[in-house]
Structure 1
Amino acid sequence: MTVSDPVVEEIVATISRSATEIQQGLIGRRGAVDEEGRENPTGDTQLEADVWADDLLGDRLASLEGVGQYASEERPEAVDCGPDPATEDVYAVAVDPLDGSSNLESNNAMGTIFGIYDAPLPARGETLVAAGYVLYGPITTMVIATEETVAEYELTGGERRLVERDLELPDDPVVYGFGGRVPDWTDEFESYAREIEQELKLRYGGAMIGDVNQVLTYGGIFGYPGLESRPEGKLRLQFEGNPIGYIVERAGGRSSDGEQSLLAVDPEEIHQRAPVYVGNADLIERLEDALA
């Protein structure tokens, strides 16, 4: 299966061809960039693997004819690639090169997230034409969402093999995973979490991709809430919230920042954070009621 838009398909194909190389290239790149621990634009310590994966994807995606902007969690500003992203058949690509890279030290799951926007960045999630993620697990898999469908692939040798064409959240939810330190949760969110933990099984691995993939597989809810110390939460809207929200909504679920769909949030700057909740629609509705 290929994506109908040839430019979008070339972007997706470039990321999928790069995925195996990225996973193999993590070996020997588990430490910080330098002894002082250089930080990315939002204050996270950059690992050598973060910068390497960003450079690899940035070089390859920026060279594609239909890419007008490349933006990454590791760079302070979007890179203009030549074509105007406001014109037809030219897209902006926002990437989290290594989601959950802090898991490198313990050798646990991590991934790559991408969103393809039909508008200059920063942009609302409603302007996404496709989004996806690569999960570097025991098997390297890729989930791609477009306006038509959500599909899952296995990646090997630079090729992708279709596993499921029309991926949908199961109707009966099974798992949940919530981020942030419990003492820093708001009272309203903690009350909701205590209800959910009586109903579902905890699955939280420290990388959003792994947790969201479990929600897509088994049904349930993932959330990184607004905290008492950080009401805006931790996750970045352009690189994480919007792409994951788009995927889950296309798979029949819902996304929310606690009040509305993540895709409806107006971004003010490229590294803007937002609370992120995705999962089965009834669980998200209950969450919004609890936080109201």
Structure 2
Amino acid sequence: MSHSPSENPPPPGDLESVMTLEQFIIDRHERFPQATGAFARLLRDVSVAAKIINHNIRRAGILDVLGETGRVNVQDERQKQLDEIADRELERALRRGGECCLIGSEEQPETIPLSPDATAQEQFAVFFDPLDGSTNTDVNASVGTIFSIYTLPEHVDRDDSVHVALRPGAEQVAAGYVAYGSSTMFVFTTGNGVNGFTLDPGIGEFLLTHPDLQIPAARAMYSVNEADIEDFSPELRSFLRWLKQKDPQTGARVRARYIGSFVSDFHRNLLTGGLYMYPATADYPQGKLRLMYEANPMALLVEQAGGRASDGHRRILDLQPEELHQRTPLFIGSAPLIEAAEAFLQGRGAEVEGRG
């Protein structure tokens, strides 16, 4: 059964009926083929890092962690202090946990081999964007962390592990994000639905608050940086004109909402219905978002919630990555809207306009 975020919330102060993240993994192990002890510990490690990152974000106006480091990262972007903190805490948690043998981060030029627990049966590779939308931190706007998990074959050569790990997103064993906003939410999938957990700061636990999330099919919101509209293709501009028309049956009009943090825009659209777009532009002909640790994990999530993710022509999860920081155009959200976007981008917009 799918649930809206406000449906049957736990009574205030009543935590007995609410399940923690770790309890959820243990109790639902029959639904999660990957839910071994090692996998549960790996998710725990990510959640611990998220709590530490959240702690730093919540105190950002008090501690001296705002602003830039003065360095430029591998993406040729000016690195924020919180970028560096989030990257360090995720690496530290995964290294300490001992369940992960390889990590890849937006902030690092190459993958980093780790030494997994010698007793672990699985070898996990984790790719992540430690702090998506970090430019928002200086103005107290919402940001997020995105992560993607793969398993690697046993006895992988350290020098070849990155090539083994660069696999299509359809082979992910888990993916998720943490949204740091008015509350902090940990949303993830293991390929068996999407569930959301809200951090209770009083007890320091992520509690199940959004079980079995499903993205509404309605076209409530769209998210795109329309300041770049002159760089959009004629087909995409046609799609935007169609998208803004009132619904012929209800008279409702789609609303534009763009925060500038992929996690935040995606999270809102997941709950309300809509789509997020970061297309190819003149400045970013291959798109701007990275396939391995931004597009792939969110694509797995949205498909498990009943939506779709595309580069405008192909399913995101079918793309074969060639390098860690590979970019891709991205259209992600409610399935009917992604199908309409693909039709326009592929020169079939008349079909959609004919349907109204």
Q: What residue in structure 2 maps to residue 153 of structure 1? A: 197
Q: What residue in structure 2 maps to residue 2 of structure 1? A: 25
Q: What residue in structure 2 maps to residue 201 of structure 1? A: 255
Q: CA deviation at 1:176?
A: 0.8
Is 1:102 paired with 2:141?
no
Is 1:213 paired with 2:260?
no
1:253-292 equivalences in 2 (<5 Å): 253-292=307-346
Q: What residue in structure 1 maps to residue 222 of structure 2? A: 176
Higher Cα radius of gyration: 2
Q: CA deviation at 1:23?
A: 2.0
Cα-to-partner distance string for 1:2-39 (whole Å, 9 max, x where unaligned): 163132322222222222321221312111112xxx22
1:110-189 equivalences in 2 (<5 Å): 110-119=143-152, 120-157=164-201, 158-179=204-225, 181-189=228-236
Is 1:32 paired with 2:68?
yes
Aligned equivalents of 1:115, 1:210: Cα separation in 2 = 17
Cα-to-partner distance string for 1:75-132 (whole Å, 9 max, x where unaligned): 0111111359xx9621110011100001012110100100111244322101101111
Aligned equivalents of 2:256, 2:65: Cα separation in 1 = 30
Aligned equivalents of 1:186, 1:30: Cα separation in 2 = 37
Q: What residue in structure 1 maps to residue 292 of structure 2? A: 238
Q: Does the Cα contact within 8 Å between 2:87 and 2:107 map onto a contact in 1? A: yes
Q: Does the Cα contact within 8 Å between 1:17 and 1:159 map onto a contact in 2? A: no
Q: Does the Cα contact within 8 Å between 1:121 and 1:270 map onto a contact in 2? A: no
Runs of at least 5 residues in structure 1 that lack an aligned partner in the other structure: none
Name the aligned partner's letter for residue 126 of structure 2: V
Aligned equivalents of 1:166, 1:194: Cα separation in 2 = 33
Q: CA deviation at 1:196?
A: 1.4
SS at match of 1:133: strand
Q: Which runs of 4+ in 1 moved over 3 A?
A: none
Aligned equivalents of 1:288, 1:62: Cα separation in 2 = 41
SS at match of 1:63: helix
Q: What residue in structure 1 maps to residue 50 of structure 2? A: 19
Cα-to-partner distance string for 1:32-75 (whole Å, 9 max, x where unaligned): 112xxx22111111111101110111011123332110111000
Cα-to-partner distance string for 1:175-230 (whole Å, 9 max, x where unaligned): 11013622221211111112212341111101011100111101111111111232
Name the aligned partner's letter for residue 167 of structure 1: L
Name the aligned partner's letter for residue 131 of structure 1: A
Name the aligned partner's letter for residue 261 of structure 2: A
Q: Does the Cα contact within 8 Å between 2:52 and 2:89 map onto a contact in 1? A: no
Aligned equivalents of 1:208, 1:8: Cα separation in 2 = 26
Aligned equivalents of 1:106, 1:156: Cα separation in 2 = 24
Is 1:53 paired with 2:86?
yes
Runs of at least 5 residues in structure 2 that lack an aligned partner in the other structure: 1-23, 30-34, 153-163, 246-252, 347-356
Aligned equivalents of 2:146, 2:288: Cα separation in 1 = 16
Q: Does the Cα contact within 8 Å between 2:217 and 2:335 map onto a contact in 1? A: no
Change (3 A) 1:82 1:21: closer
The alignment yields a C-alpha RMSD, in angstroms, of: 1.7
Aligned equivalents of 1:223, 1:190: Cα separation in 2 = 12
TM-score (norm 1): 0.93
SS at match of 2:342: helix
Name the aligned partner's letter for residue 210 of structure 2: E
Q: Does the Cα contact within 8 Å between 1:142 and 1:152 map onto a contact in 2? A: yes
Q: Does the Cα contact within 8 Å between 2:287 and 2:328 map onto a contact in 1? A: yes
Aligned equivalents of 2:49, 2:284: Cα separation in 1 = 34
Aligned equivalents of 2:83, 2:334: Cα separation in 1 = 31
SS at match of 1:43: coil
Q: Does the Cα contact within 8 Å between 1:8 and 1:116 map onto a contact in 2? A: no
Aligned equivalents of 2:98, 2:286: Cα separation in 1 = 36
Name the aligned partner's letter for residue 62 of structure 1: R
Q: What residue in structure 1 maps to residue 19 of structure 2? A: none
Aligned equivalents of 2:295, 2:100: Cα separation in 1 = 21
The farther-off stretch of 49-58 and 10-19 is 10-19
Aligned equivalents of 1:63, 1:266: Cα separation in 2 = 31
TM-score (norm 2): 0.77
